[in-house]
Amino acid sequence: MLAIFDLEGVLVDGEFLPELAKLKGIEDKIWDITMKGIRGEIDWEQGLHLRIQELKGMSYSDCVKVSNSLKVMPGAKEACKTLREMGFMLASVSGGFTLLAERIQKELGLDYIFANELIFVGDRLHSVIIRVNSNKANSIQGLVKTLKEPKEQIVAIVDGANDLTLFELAGLKIAFCAQPIVESRADVIIKEKDLRLIIPAITEYIRNLENNGAEIRRYRR
């Protein structure tokens, strides 16, 4: 079994670039571009490059400080621990950055992370290497094939329009504090910021699979 999480807004309670923008006094501008991308109103890749251009020149130390200040979502540690005990592999696919994703991987015990990389020149933010684009499913399809995970044993927990391709990989689709377009395509909708609330829905879903004769693939640590 495989659980796929978005990072910012799902595993993390906040968004990295808007918080970084506060230091430069352009938070509103960055949030505007961010939300247009989340809602699917602008090309996501273009929006990311625009935001990085606005923040170009920020120091590496400021970026690390902001990244470290973002807290994990309430209930995230408990939810991830429970899912591991159930036999899930845990992955995060983020349009954000390795600077944050690697920290969260350690804190929550994620098995895999997929994220973009900020490029610094002379200790200053310069650009970004996009490894996770608007089609997030592309980033993790190789892992799904390697693990040979059947679709019905994949769960996706996301919040934004740019996450919707992850729903295409999943048998159980969970919208977590999500945009309306995501809720409209979800099997389960969670509106409270507490990731523990996904566990009953996932437990019931797996139980139904077992009752229907599915051979559940559980990973043991």
| pLDDT score of 69 more than 90 | yes
Alpha carbon separation from 94 to 100, 206, 214 (Å, rounded): 10, 25, 30
Range 188-191 contact pairs with CB under 8 angstroms and sequence separation of 24 or more: none
Domains plus CATH for the chain?
2-13+72-211 (3.40.50.1000), 16-69 (1.10.150)
pLDDT tens digits, residue range 7-31?
999 999 998 998 999 999 998 988 8
pLDDT tens digits, residue range 100-142?
999 999 999 999 999 999 999 989 999 999 999 888 999 999 9
| pLDDT score of 144 more than 80 | yes
SS3 per residue for 161-207: HHHHHHHCCCCEEEEECCCHHHHCCCCEEECCCCHHHHHHHHHHHHH
| pLDDT score of 219 more than 70 | yes
**How much is the pLDDT for 214?**
84
| pLDDT score of 184 more than 80 | yes
Instruction: For residues 174-196, give the mean pLDDT.
Output: 96
Write out the DSSP string of the chain. Answer: -EEEE-TBTTTBSS-HHHHHHHTTT-HHHHHHHHHHHHTTSS-HHHHHHHHHHHHTT-BHHHHHHHHHHPPBPTTHHHHHHHHHHHT-EEEEEEEEEHHHHHHHHHHHT-SEEEEEEEEEETTEEEEEE-SS-S-THHHHHHHHHHHT--GGGEEEEE-SGGGHHHHTT-SEEEEES--HHHHTT-SEEE-SS-GGGHHHHHHHHHHHHHHTT--------
**How much is the pLDDT for 38?**
65
Q: What do you get for the CA distance between the two ends of the chain, in Å? A: 13
Rounded distance between C-alpha atoms, residue 20 and residue 129, angstroms: 18
Write out the DSSP string of 5-23. Answer: E-TBTTTBSS-HHHHHHHT
Sequence-distant (≥ 6) Cβ neighbours of residue 49 within 8 angstroms: 128
Evaluate if pTM is beyond 0.85. yes
Computed over every residue of the chain, the mean pLDDT equals 93
**How much is the pLDDT for 177?**
96
**How much is the pLDDT for 149?**
92
| pLDDT score of 96 more than 70 | yes
Distance of CA 59 to the CA centre of its chain: 25
Instruction: For residues 137-161, give the mean pLDDT.
Output: 93
